[in-house]
Amino acid sequence: MESVINCAAYCEGRKTGNVELDNISEVLKQSDRFVWIGLHAPEKEMLSKMQLEFGLHELAIEDALRAHQRPKLEAYGDTLFIVLRTAQLKGPRIDFGETHFFLGLNFIINVRHGSSIPYTDVRTRCESTPHLLKKGPGFALYAVMDAIVDQYFPVIDKLEEELGSLEEKIFHERFRRETTAKIYKLKRKLLEVKRAVSPLIDICNRLMRFDLKLIDEETRPYFRDVYDHAIRINEMVDNSRELLSTALEANLSMASISQSEVAKRFAGWAALIGVPTMIAGIYGMNFNVMPELQWRWGYPVVLTVTAVLCAVLYFRFKKSGWL
Amino acid sequence: MESVINCAAYCEGRKTGNVELDNISEVLKQSDRFVWIGLHAPEKEMLSKMQLEFGLHELAIEDALRAHQRPKLEAYGDTLFIVLRTAQLKGPRIDFGETHFFLGLNFIINVRHGSSIPYTDVRTRCESTPHLLKKGPGFALYAVMDAIVDQYFPVIDKLEEELGSLEEKIFHERFRRETTAKIYKLKRKLLEVKRAVSPLIDICNRLMRFDLKLIDEETRPYFRDVYDHAIRINEMVDNSRELLSTALEANLSMASISQSEVAKRFAGWAALIGVPTMIAGIYGMNFNVMPELQWRWGYPVVLTVTAVLCAVLYFRFKKSGWL
Amino acid sequence: MESVINCAAYCEGRKTGNVELDNISEVLKQSDRFVWIGLHAPEKEMLSKMQLEFGLHELAIEDALRAHQRPKLEAYGDTLFIVLRTAQLKGPRIDFGETHFFLGLNFIINVRHGSSIPYTDVRTRCESTPHLLKKGPGFALYAVMDAIVDQYFPVIDKLEEELGSLEEKIFHERFRRETTAKIYKLKRKLLEVKRAVSPLIDICNRLMRFDLKLIDEETRPYFRDVYDHAIRINEMVDNSRELLSTALEANLSMASISQSEVAKRFAGWAALIGVPTMIAGIYGMNFNVMPELQWRWGYPVVLTVTAVLCAVLYFRFKKSGWL
Amino acid sequence: MESVINCAAYCEGRKTGNVELDNISEVLKQSDRFVWIGLHAPEKEMLSKMQLEFGLHELAIEDALRAHQRPKLEAYGDTLFIVLRTAQLKGPRIDFGETHFFLGLNFIINVRHGSSIPYTDVRTRCESTPHLLKKGPGFALYAVMDAIVDQYFPVIDKLEEELGSLEEKIFHERFRRETTAKIYKLKRKLLEVKRAVSPLIDICNRLMRFDLKLIDEETRPYFRDVYDHAIRINEMVDNSRELLSTALEANLSMASISQSEVAKRFAGWAALIGVPTMIAGIYGMNFNVMPELQWRWGYPVVLTVTAVLCAVLYFRFKKSGWL
Amino acid sequence: MESVINCAAYCEGRKTGNVELDNISEVLKQSDRFVWIGLHAPEKEMLSKMQLEFGLHELAIEDALRAHQRPKLEAYGDTLFIVLRTAQLKGPRIDFGETHFFLGLNFIINVRHGSSIPYTDVRTRCESTPHLLKKGPGFALYAVMDAIVDQYFPVIDKLEEELGSLEEKIFHERFRRETTAKIYKLKRKLLEVKRAVSPLIDICNRLMRFDLKLIDEETRPYFRDVYDHAIRINEMVDNSRELLSTALEANLSMASISQSEVAKRFAGWAALIGVPTMIAGIYGMNFNVMPELQWRWGYPVVLTVTAVLCAVLYFRFKKSGWL
């Protein structure tokens, strides 16, 4: 059974040793112990075993099996079932995964699906602060949640950076077609992160206030810390979304302005070509009596006059921004 | 009376047999029984019979007859009246229907109107899990609601797919006229689905919290499951709506940008045609004294100069994106 | 006193006869009676009489006199003062009116202002169901409110139809100037209906929950029915508003796209005219030595070449959508 | 001390006479009296005197001195401090001012700053209805608030009128530059009025529900009346704002459409000039062998053909809206 | 240890003298004393010392060390941890900083990070009003918060001024490219200020209502004052944001309108050049029989006719706004 990453018992915040799945009930008979089990993409049989062992609710088991849930917290009698979405940068892409938790009085099970950091580091860090871990499985829950939420900060930083480079493009470059597509794609990503993060606020809020004995009084401020981070990520996403909307509108403005500039420059040059053409046309007429044509200096004079006219136009256009 | 699809009594979650409509009161004298009746587009007489049999409220009966209600939950004394909208994909179209429920302590009646899957499968599935169905008519309600809500997932998937193909069109193709119309139509569909689904959240919420004995304590987590699905569908719709708004704006941006590009290319080619025309015009003038005209190589020189000029312009325009 | 349309006493839901205004106090001494008075645009004296007779509050009387109120429900001691806005289609126009109610334990007064259906039909319908009307003046209030709210459905249908024909215009026709103006006007109408209907939701809500004895327990579900209709109308208006916003944006997109198409076609035709002009210009030059001019077939060859060139351009433009 | 506009004592709703500031404490010893003081832009000393006399809170005094507050209601122990913004039309401008109130059990002080109507009329009107004024200083507060709120109706009417004339301009005139600027300015004004009025709703709401003895039970319906007006003004402003947003978008649409029309007309005329120029160019070529040139009727035939061509083009363009 | 700016004990609102960090516990044994410590960017050791001395919570200490928090108020048992963001104008830039507070029954610690005014002036002002400062450390908290919030007013004034100058640019100038970029940047700044200020409202609200003995009953109105300022700043920011959105749209409208004007002027001048060119072209044709060419006054007549035609066009264009 490879899906079991880790299964250990803790007493007074100290690891008492790894536990075989089949010995769990034995271990839990001691009232001061709790078990922390880490699963990764478990199969149906494994989850059924857990269900039997800890009396988990059928609906929660189904959700844990299927994954693709939205973040949520559900209380089933004495146990909590929590779903969180995890995010990780994989080059330019954001990979989303899911982690589920079953939390009881003397056990915590975390179930990883898809892309996410492994939680062995988190566990090690917890084990190094037994005075905190002894607060029970609620603290283990906090530790993993904290690690999950902290993974969002680099994601947001990346998205804010993308927004920054889009701003650069909108206001200083000219390939607007790709810029528009990029704005749209960034919007898509922001919405996805938003959907993953915003339910967290409510989840933490409920963990902070939970009137069950599952979350120790002293552990609650820690969930407030996660709550605080979730709110900050949420705010950053909202901020970026609002800026992005403005950027999209600004992009349209810029397109419209640059269109106007094209029209102006075109008009200017059209005049500079049209005027000599017109003058040349006039002296191309075949009237028998056109005195200018007989003049000795007619040709150079007309050429000069035309050139001067064009120069005057050129400078006036230049000055008024039409060229 | 064809509108009766099914009418059976259940005891301890097991079907005790089909019941004649006229025997219902007889059956319900046994306190551990409940009846589950399935109707399809019933006529007035049939509903009046039900009203008499189960003491349903006149206003609920009227609603059940007329259909075209919005999803809602109404308590009339000891019975609940629930209206849900059903949706089904019929090729490119979404067909909406309605299902109404009357729920009492020992009966449940579901009334189908318009397009929807039949609920015989649901019933069969329920009958195969008597340990759940014995929770009473509330569980039967859950089973049908769950089936209805699950029908929305393929609908949403279809709409998200349509959005995806619209994105493709906006950013990579050029027939914008139809694209705009399609964006608008997709918006219309999304709003329709939204109106059908969003009241579900409130309905499930009330079923989860209902302080009546109608919904068994143990059945409530099941409604939370439906609630969770309703929220997910709702979120997907909202997400698509927000993306669609952005897509509409992006479409406008693209139209504006492509207009700008048209203007640029036109300006470029106009210059490439205008310059030779101007030069030709000059040498078409009829001045007596125009030395160039007498030169042996005048014509080829002017042609060459013009060609070179045009080539220079061509490459400069090409480089700066005006062609 | 023409403003009194109707004034009758009811006992056990049955009309006991019309009552003279001056005999009202006499009639109301019998505890099982209530009076239902219908007024139309009453003058100050009439309202003062009512005020005296039923102990109505000065501020309510002022409002009832002035009209042009927003829909509201106000409790003054033991009496309720309710203001509703009525709407009626008059050809292409929506005519708004107002109906006010004074509701006490044993009386109901409805005061019509401006355009609205008369309520004699409603009264007749009530009198034909004495088992309902015996629930007291609260039921009479319901009956009139229901009639008022039902008047909004044809109005909304009309507005939705207008939206439909606007969509047709936006996506298939070309006189955009009028379309824009019509979109704006439809928005105006929708906002007006919204303002008339949306306070109704709150009013019905309060009537459903009212902890006074004015509204009988059994009458409350009827107000829930009105509430349901008000919500439906409201939703339809909101839906249309959101679609209208999208339609306005789509209209802008279409204008921008059609502008782009104009520019393309213009550019195409300009090239088709510009190229022959340029070639003709070249052979219009007066160089002494231009061998082509002396050729026997120079003229037809140049004409043919030009024609072929234009044909090639024409087909390329046609293919790439520039013509 | 010119800042004292008025200072009178009232008993049973009747004015017992003007009071010297220094005699106030004497007067207030009689429990059935209250004092109503009207100040205008008072100096620090005057307010300090009031503070001492009535035990007002230092922070309220500071606010009353500085003005430029937002509308608010603050309870300091037994006294209320209320700030309202007043508005007045001064030709095309809206002049804003402020009025502050200190309300105690047996006193009311109103402090005017900036532009506002004087409240002597209000006071006279109150004195003419002693049966109402005897309800205490709360009624005096109502009377002044009512006068202040009523001043907003002409302001709103003016703004709605401006909106109407903007609509006219958008859909029927062509100087769009000024129209856009005017739309923006109207938005500015609407926001300013909104900021002045919207806190009023909350203030009235609190006065209606205040569980202190300051506001007499019987006076509360009067504050509901002010509340109702505030809501109406607020709704009118919101309505105008939403219409204005739509108007701004419609204006953009119109600009885009008129641009499209300019382009079409230009294209049409360019063709009408370009075609003869092209034909003339062809017959201006200098080929030796161009049979048409020798024909007797060559010139008129070509002229006629050209004219007919132009006429055909003209009518086709006219029909298809390009001219 | 340079990070300690100030550390003094107060008794009855009067400073009893500066205190060495190590003597604090000694001083606090006297129940009527409180200590006010001012830190600036303290190091870990210093904060650990504080934690030990006052029993602060580990999580709060971590936050105080790291800075870059969002404004918040957190209660840890008997102490409050408050984070505020400070803002200062540095030329055209807004510099943000942070100030954290630890508030206990007999101590207050303020920790400054980044740009902010020093709080020595605030302290001096407090010491000059012992009757207020004797209300305890809660009053000291108010004094510093008030100073922080007041720093936002010049910031907002600056932003409103920038908005004003943008309006000027949008409606009266023509360099739209920079204007668009500036609108975007102003939006960015407004969002940043908004994020710094809006949580303040909730924080003050909680301080006003706090049911702990930390905030003295008499100090609460002072927090209401801060609350009021926070709301005002918030309103000003929201106002500017809404105006800015409108300004961005207006800017787009103006760009579109000016594009339309460019097109019109171009069309006008193109006609004025095209018409003479066409006429000249016609008389440049080489037909043998073109009677006009032989006429004595042919040339001047054609020139004059052309000039008159152009003049007529010029004035018609001028009148109809095409030039």
Which structure tokens are listed for B219?
């059945």
- Average pLDDT, stretch D5-25? 87
For residue range E155-201, list pLDDT tens digits in order.
999 999 999 999 999 988 776 788 999 999 999 999 999 999 999 99
> Which residues, 6+ apart, have CB-to-CB distance to E196 below 8 Å?
E71, E85, E87, E96, E152
- Rounded to a whole number of angstroms, the distance from the CA of E218 to the nearest CA of chain D is 10
Residues of B in contact with A252 (CB under 8 A): 249, 252-253, 256
Question: What does the H/E/C string look like for D144-197?
Answer: HHHHHHHCHHHHHHHHHHHHHHHHHHHHHCCCHHHHHHHHHHHHHHHHHHHHHH
Chain D residues whose CB is inside 8 A of the C298 CB are: 287-289
Q: Which stretch of DSSP H or E encloses residue C248?
A: helix C220-282
What would the pLDDT profile of A32-60 be if each residue is shown by its tens digit? Answer: 889 999 999 898 998 998 998 898 998 99
Closest by Cβ to C281, choosing from B177, B284, B292: B284
Pairs across A and E, CB distance < 8 A: 130
- Say whether B260 and A258 touch across the interface (CB within 8 A): yes
Q: Which residues of A touch E59 (CB under 8 A)?
A: 221-222, 224-225
pLDDT, residue E211, reads 61
* Cβ–Cβ gap E259/A259 under 8 Å: yes
**Residues of chain D with C-beta less than 8 angstroms from the C-beta of E271:** 269, 273
Res A37: pLDDT: 92
Q: Between the CA of residue A128 and those of A14, A134, A216, C135, what are the distances in Å?
A: 9, 11, 20, 73
Pair C134, C168: CB distance under 8 Å: no
In chain E, the residue whose alpha carbon lies closest to the alpha carbon of D297 is: E289
Whether residues E285 and D286 touch (CB distance < 8 A) is answered with no
- pLDDT at residue number C238: 93
Within 13 Å, how many C-alpha atoms sit on residue E297's CB side? 3
Where is average pLDDT lowest: B38-47, C193-202, D254-263?
D254-263
Residue A211 has pLDDT above 50, yes or no: yes
Q: How many C-beta atoms surround the C-beta of residue E218 within 10 A?
A: 14
Rounded to the nearest angstrom, the minimum Cα separation between D17 and chain C is 29
**Among residues of chain D, what percentage have pLDDT more than 90?**
42
* E271·D274 Cβ contact <8 A: no
Contact B112, B97 (CB under 8 A): yes
Q: Would an 8 Å CB–CB cutoff place A264 in contact with chain E? A: yes
Of C224, C250, C284, the CB nearest to B284: C284
Whole-number Å distance between alpha carbons of E203 and E219? 15
B246 touches A: beta carbon within 8 Å: yes
Sequence-separated (6 or more) residues with CB below 8 Å from residue B249: A248, A249, A252, C249
What residues of chain C score a pLDDT lower than 70?
1-2, 175, 210-212
Neighbours of D17 (CB within 10 A): 9
The model's pLDDT over A133-168, given as tens digits with 9 standing for 90+, comes to 888 899 999 999 999 999 999 999 999 999 999 999
Taking only the tens place, the pLDDT of each residue in E79-119 is: 999 999 999 998 888 999 999 999 998 899 999 998 777 88
In chain D, residues with a C-beta closer than 8 Å to the C-beta of C277 are 274, 277-278, 281
- Which of D74, D187, D276 lies nearest to residue E246, judging by beta carbons? D187
* Chain-chain contact of D263 with E263 (C-beta, under 8 angstroms): yes
E168 lies within 8 A of chain D by CB: no
DSSP letter, residue E213: T
**Residue closest to C137 by CA, chosen among C106, C114, C91, C167:** C106
Interchain proximity A251–B252, CB inside 8 Å: no
Give the whole-angstrom CA distance, residue B112 versus residue A306: 85
Cβ–Cβ contact A191 with B under 8 A = yes
Q: What is the C-alpha to C-alpha distance for residues C221 and E112, in angstroms, rounded to an integer?
A: 61
The pLDDT of residue E210 is: 67
pLDDT band at D32 (very low <50, low <70, confident <90, very high): confident
> If we measure between CA atoms, which residue out of B12, B111, B90, B102 comes closest to residue B59?
B102
Query: Is residue E226's pLDDT more than 80?
Result: yes
Residue E81 bridge partners (DSSP) = E74, E102
pLDDT confidence of residue D1: 46
Q: What is the pLDDT of residues B212-232, one digit of tens each?
A: 678 888 888 899 999 999 999
Rounded to whole angstroms, what are the CA distances from C254 to D167, D260, E121?
22, 11, 62
Window 28-57 of B, Cβ < 8 Å to A: none
Structure-token pair, residue B160: 């998200």
Q: Could you tell me the pLDDT band of residue B209, with boundaries at 50, 70 and 90?
A: confident
Judged by CB atoms within 8 Å, which residues 195-214 of C form the interface with D? 195
Separation of alpha carbons C63 and C72, rounded Å = 11
Quick check: A227 and A215 in contact, CB under 8 A?
A: no
Mean pLDDT (whole number) for D169-185: 85
Please name the amino acid found at residue C305: V
Q: Mutation target for B interface from A258, A292, A299: give the one with most B CBs within 10 A.
A: A299
For residue D284, the chain E residues in CB contact (below 8 A) are 281, 284-286
pLDDT band at E248 (very low <50, low <70, confident <90, very high): very high
- The two structure tokens encoding residue B20: 């004649």
Q: How far is CA B217 from CA B142, B149, B220, D78, E178, in A?
A: 13, 22, 6, 50, 64
Q: Which of C57, C180, C258 sits opposite D254 (nearest CB)?
A: C180
Hey, of A146, A238, A256, which one would you mutate to test binding to chain E, going by the most E CBs within 10 A of its CB? A256
Residues β-bridged to residue C84: C99
φ, ψ for residue D111, nearest 5 deg: -120, 115
Q: Note which residues in 284-323 of chain D have CB less than 8 A from chain E.
A: 284-286, 290, 292-299, 302-303
Q: Choose, out of E156, E176, E282, the residue to mutate when testing the contact with D (most D CBs < 10 Å).
A: E282
Q: Tens digit of pLDDT for each residue in E47-67? A: 999 998 898 998 999 888 887
Q: Do B270 and C266 touch (CB under 8 A)?
A: no
Interface test with D, best of E261, E286, E290, E309 (most D CBs within 10 A): E286
CB D72 within 8 A of CB D203: yes
The two three-digit tokens of residue D88, written as one number? 């007045």
For chain C, which chains pass the contact test of at least 3 CB pairs under 8 Å?
B, D
Question: Tokens representing D231?
Answer: 């809501």
Per-residue confidence (pLDDT) for residue D175, from 0 to 100:
64
Q: Does C165 touch chain B (CB under 8 A)?
A: no
Give how far D129 is from chain E: nearest CA, Å: 37
Query: What confidence category does residue B142 fall into, taking pLDDT thresholds of 50, 70 and 90?
Result: very high
Residue scoring higher pLDDT (A248 or B118): A248
Of B239, B243, B321, the CB nearest to A174: B321
Distance from the Cα of D251 to chain E's closest Cα (Å) equals 7
Give me the helices (H) in chain D, please. 24-28, 44-54, 58-66, 120-127, 130-133, 137-150, 152-172, 176-209, 220-282, 291-294, 298-319
Across the interface, whether the CB atoms of D281 and E281 are under 8 A apart is answered yes
D167 contacts on C by Cβ (under 8 Å): 184
Residues 6+ apart with CB under 8 A from C71: C83, C84, C85, C196, C199, C200, C203
Closest CA to D148 of D192, D200, D186: D200
Which of A270, A281, A289 has its CB closest to that of E299? A289
Smallest CA–CA distance, residue C319 to chain B, in Å, is 13
Helix, strand, or coil here: E39? Answer: strand
Q: Distance (Å) from the C-alpha of residue C117 to the closest C-alpha of chain B?
A: 24
Tokens of C117: 């259906």
Find all residues with CB under 8 Å of E265, minimum gap 6, and list them: A267, E322, E323
SS (H, E, C) A19-50: CCHHHHHHHHCCCCEEEEEEEECCCHHHHHHH
Q: Which amino acid is at E51?
A: Q
Q: Are D286 and C290 within 8 A, CB to CB?
A: yes
Which of residues 12 through 31 in chain C touch B, CB cutoff 8 A? none
Nearby residues of A270 by Cβ (< 8 Å), 6 or more positions away = B270, B274, E266, E270
Q: Are D214 and D105 in contact (CB under 8 A)?
A: yes
| Predicted confidence (pLDDT) per residue in B147-204, tens digit | 999 999 999 999 999 999 999 999 887 767 889 999 999 999 999 999 999 999 999 9
Q: How far is B264 from chain A (nearest CA, A)?
A: 6
Residue A59 in contact with partner chain B when CB distance is under 8 A? yes
Query: Residue E41: which region, alpha, beta or left (left: phi > 0; alpha: psi -120 to 50)?
Result: left
Q: Check CB contact of E183 with chain A, cutoff 8 Å.
A: yes
Q: In this predicted structure, what is the pLDDT of residue E267? A: 87
State which residue of chain E sits closest to D181, comparing Cα positions. E171
Q: Is E242 on the interface with D (CB under 8 A)?
A: yes
- Interchain CB distance below 8 Å, C250 and B183: yes
Give pLDDT, residue E1.
46
In a 10 Å sphere around its CB, with 0-12 CB exposed, 13-18 middle and 19+ buried, how is residue C51 labelled?
A: middle
